[in-house]
Structure 1
Amino acid sequence: MERIRKCEAGGRDGMRKRRRHVWMGMILFSLLHSSISPSFAQDTTRQAAEPCYRCRLRNLLIAETVVYGTTIYGLSRAWYDNPLTNFHFFNDNREWLQIDKVGHMVTAYQIARVSAQAYRWAGLSDRKAAMYAGLTGLIFQTPIEILDGFSPEYGFSVGDMIANMAGPALYTGQYLAWGELRIQPKFSFHNTALAKVRPNLLGSSWNERWLKDYNGQTYWLSINPSTFARRDSKLPKWLNIAVGYGIQDMVAAETSKSIELGYRPYRQYFLSLDIDFTRIPTRKKGLKTLFFLLNTLKMPAPTLEYNGRNGFQFHALYF
């Protein structure tokens, strides 16, 4: 415990930068969500009396620009304590067994997904909406990385930037290749006992832990088999297969420091079932909105885990 207390007292331990990035991404995501939430309840098919889609698109782009510019300015003033200096790099690719990079990818993907729904509401085709959304997902994250490059406390992370590009690319690429989403990144979280070991770093309450405790986070790629099968396939269109990635026993950003504190960090790999809620037929706009939002999360289901320490393990219900 003495070693843990010393570690708590010293250094940013890689978390402040990670937590700040996730917070900024989530705040920007929420603002974008609130600005386009009417689109979730809209049927994307054109009605007999068509609205002015050009007006919708123009107003949407103006709203996104204003909200994003104002938010970036405000958050940059709030988070960057010291005056900006010369641009420099910071290599954090070895931290947290790279799960934070996966988080960057998933956040950027979800921003693109929400943006695409807004662009469809503004009258764009699925293909054009996906292309605009890919740019939006990238643009929403890039200035944060650039500001980091000029901050003496942080630095530009090439790993973060690659992850920020991968998320929108995964979204847009699927529409360009298949005209639909067949593979969707998702998120799940459960409480772990490790948060009590270092509450300042991993969270002292559930509201903090879902964001700070990487040991409880799992990131998934949820794949829809029916979209790859023949058209006459009897596979349920809503049933997905999910592969996941998690980490365990990381009580510090660096593996070596976690080992010094008496833990043996390891990676976890998962295979599970999932639900694609957007493929459940419904005409109710409220349910469409709910299903769209639920598709951000991996649903609890029987799960097979493999890790280098314990080998294969089966969970009757894992989230």
Structure 2
Amino acid sequence: MPDTVMPARVWTLAAGSAAAYTGSLLVLNKYWYKDYPKRSLHTINDFGEWLQMDKFGHVYSAYLFSKYSREIWRWSGLPRKQQIWIGGLSGFAFQSVIEFLDAHSAQWGWSWGDMGANALGAGIMIGQELAWNEQRFQLKFSSTPVHYRDPVLRARAIDQFGTRLVERTLKDYNSQTYWLSMNISSLLQEKNMPRWLNVAVGYGVEGLYGARGNNWEDGEDVLYSYSHIRRTRRVFLSPDVDFTKIPTRHKGVKILFQVLNMIKVPAPALEVNGAGQLKLHALKF
């Protein structure tokens, strides 16, 4: 890392960050918001929706943008604490701008629960960097497409979650798992443990076909009742890999490892769910 501040790099990073945020918002508007009607700014209380999966998404997204923004700002030569705070606040700011899109959409609204989740995600990154100068607890994501065999549920999934892979990955909470991946060597200060070995706790759901329940009306005012399908919380325990702990001198490989650390690697997993079931998955992704 440079020893002195390099103004040209600071301005380059500031402009690049602004462009990246603008581009990301345009993509979100295209794939998430454009097909929904607009209205004036309004607030909602949505904390009870989707078994809080949307809140986990906000925490993860804010953490992710904060973490990688901090990594990019290392190049600037700014003092370490400034890099951390700029990175963290950038992630929080990006997610907060999304709230303005929500606030003007008739489908959603400004959510203080979302804002709290955004602050938590950025805070997880900032706190660890200030305390340890590393991320001993990392937030990760995985998604497995769900195949809806029931024609009614398939139609409902298309209406709620879209058809494209990008849409399904972003919207279908039944397919998503959010992970807290902990580095064993760093936490235990144990030198004999593999430095790349993590253990991850995941949270997911199944059986969600609406924000608060599984009853809905279609565009022709036909009522569907699928309340017999249990809306279930799922908790997983699984080994994981911290790619950034794998030694390499190649800068391109280091960048690749940073990107790979966004995602939980497929591995065996133990599941405990809200139905009181204990399951063993040979490979969970």
Q: What TM-score bracket applies, with the shorter chain setting the length? A: 0.7 to 0.9
Q: Which residue number corresponds to residue 47 of structure 2?
A: 93
Q: How many pairs are equivalent?
A: 270
Q: Let me know the Cα RMSD of the aligned residues.
A: 2.8
Say whether residues 1:317 and 2:270 are aligned partners. Answer: no
Partners of 1:80 and 1:151 within 8 A in 2: no
Say whether residues 1:260 and 2:260 are aligned partners. Answer: no
Question: Secondary structure, in 3 states, of the residue corresponding to 2:115?
Answer: helix
Q: Which moved more, 1:264-273 or 1:136-145?
A: 136-145
State the AA in 2 paired with 1:95.
E
Distance of aligned partners of 1:126 and 1:182 in 2 relative to their CA distance in 1, 3 Å threshold: farther
State the AA in 2 paired with 1:294.
L
Deviation at 1:211, TM superposition (A): 2.2
Q: Which runs of 5+ in 1 are unaligned?
A: 1-44
Question: Secondary structure, in 3 states, of the residue corresponding to 2:230?
Answer: coil
Q: Which moved more, 1:241-250 or 1:284-293?
A: 284-293
Instruction: Name the one with the larger strand percent.
Output: 2
Say whether residues 1:293 and 2:230 are aligned partners. Answer: no
Q: Percent of aligned positions with the same letter in both sequences?
A: 41
After superposition, what is the alpha-carbon deviation per residue over 1:97-145, rounded to whole angstroms, capped at 9, x for unaligned? 1101101111111111111111001123443322111110011121221
Say whether residues 1:108 and 2:66 are aligned partners. Answer: no
Partners of 1:301 and 1:316 within 8 A in 2: yes
Deviation at 1:296, TM superposition (A): 0.2
Partners of 1:67 and 1:248 in 2: how far apart? 33
Say whether residues 1:247 and 2:209 are aligned partners. Answer: no
Tell me which of the two structures has the higher relative contact order, counting C-alpha pairs closer than 8 angstroms and 6 or more residues apart: 1
Q: Which runs of 5+ in 2 are unaligned?
A: 217-223
Deviation at 1:220, TM superposition (A): 0.2
What are the within-5 Å matches in structure 2 for residues 1-319 of structure 1? Answer: 45-46=1-2, 53-66=6-19, 68=21, 79=34, 85=40, 87-194=41-148, 196=154, 198=156, 199-230=158-189, 233-257=191-215, 260-261=225-226, 262-319=228-285
Partners of 1:286 and 1:192 in 2: how far apart? 34
Partners of 1:184 and 1:75 in 2: how far apart? 24
Q: Which residue number corresponds to residue 26 of structure 1?
A: none
Partners of 1:196 and 1:204 within 8 A in 2: no
State the AA in 2 paired with 1:249.
G
Question: Secondary structure, in 3 states, of the residue corresponding to 1:309?
Answer: coil
After superposition, what is the alpha-carbon deviation per residue over 1:136-189, rounded to whole angstroms, capped at 9, x for unaligned? 001112122134335555321111111111111110111112221100000001
Q: Which moved more, 1:197-206 or 1:179-188?
A: 197-206
After superposition, what is the alpha-carbon deviation per residue over 1:242-296, rounded to whole angstroms, capped at 9, x for unaligned? 0000001112222353893141111000000000000100011221121111000
Instruction: Name the one with the larger helix percent.
Output: 1
**TM-score where L is the length of structure 1:** 0.76
Distance of aligned partners of 1:309 and 1:135 in 2 relative to their CA distance in 1, 3 Å threshold: same
Partners of 2:141 and 2:28 in 1: how far apart? 25
Question: Secondary structure, in 3 states, of the residue corresponding to 1:255?
Answer: coil
